[in-house]
Amino acid sequence: MKRRVALATCPQFPDLSDDDRPLIPELARLDVDAAPAVWSRPCDWSAFDAVVVRSTWYYWLEHERFARWLAGLEAGGAAVWNPVAVIRENMDKRYLRGLAQAGVPVVPTEWLAKEDPRTLAEVLESRGWTEAVVKPVVSGNAEWTFRIGRGRAGQAREALEPAWRLGPAMIQPFVPSILSEGEYSLLFFGGEFSHAVVKRAKSGDFRVQHEHGGTTAPAAVDRSWIALAESVLETVGADLLYARVDLAVLDGRPHLMELELTEPFLYFEHAPGSAARFARALARRLS
Residue 90: asked if its preceding bond is cis (omega within 30°), the reply is: no
- Return the pLDDT at 158: 67
Residue 100 gets the label, from left (phi > 0), alpha (psi -120 to 50) or beta, of: alpha
Instruction: Measure the CA–CA gap between 68 and 84, rounded to whole angstroms.
Output: 11
- Return the pLDDT at 166: 73
- The strand pair at 110-112 and 32-38 is best described as unpaired
- Work out the number of other CB atoms within 10 angstroms of the CB of residue 3: 17
Q: Same topology for domains 95-105+177-261 and 110-173, yes or no?
A: no
Instruction: Measure the CA–CA gap between 242 and 261, rounded to whole angstroms.
Output: 7
Instruction: Measure the CA–CA gap between 131 and 162, rounded to whole angstroms.
Output: 20
- Return the pLDDT at 154: 57
Instruction: Measure the CA–CA gap between 232 and 238, rounded to whole angstroms.
Output: 11
Q: In this predicted model, what pLDDT tens digit does every residue of 136-183 receive, in sequence order? A: 888 877 677 888 887 666 556 666 777 787 778 889 999 999 999 999
Residue 109's SS3 state is coil
- Return the pLDDT at 150: 72
Instruction: Measure the CA–CA gap between 282 and 249, rounded to whole angstroms.
Output: 32
CB 136 within 8 A of CB 166: yes
CB 101 within 8 A of CB 135: no
Instruction: Measure the CA–CA gap between 229 and 127, rounded to whole angstroms.
Output: 27
CB 74 within 8 A of CB 101: no
- Return the pLDDT at 151: 65
User: For the chain, which residues score pLDDT lower than 70?
Assistant: 142, 151-159, 205-206, 210, 212-213
CB 13 within 8 A of CB 266: no
Class level of CATH domain 110-173: alpha beta
Instruction: Measure the CA–CA gap between 141 and 143, rounded to whole angstroms.
Output: 5
Domain 3-90, architecture per CATH? 3-Layer(aba) Sandwich (3.40)
The domain limits of the chain are 3-90, 95-105+177-261, 110-173
Residue 29's SS3 state is coil
What burial class does residue 66 get, using C-beta atoms within 10 Å of its C-beta: 0-12 exposed, 13-18 middle, 19+ buried?
A: buried
Q: What CATH superfamily classification does 95-105+177-261 receive? A: ATP-grasp fold, B domain (3.30.470.20)
- Return the pLDDT at 201: 84
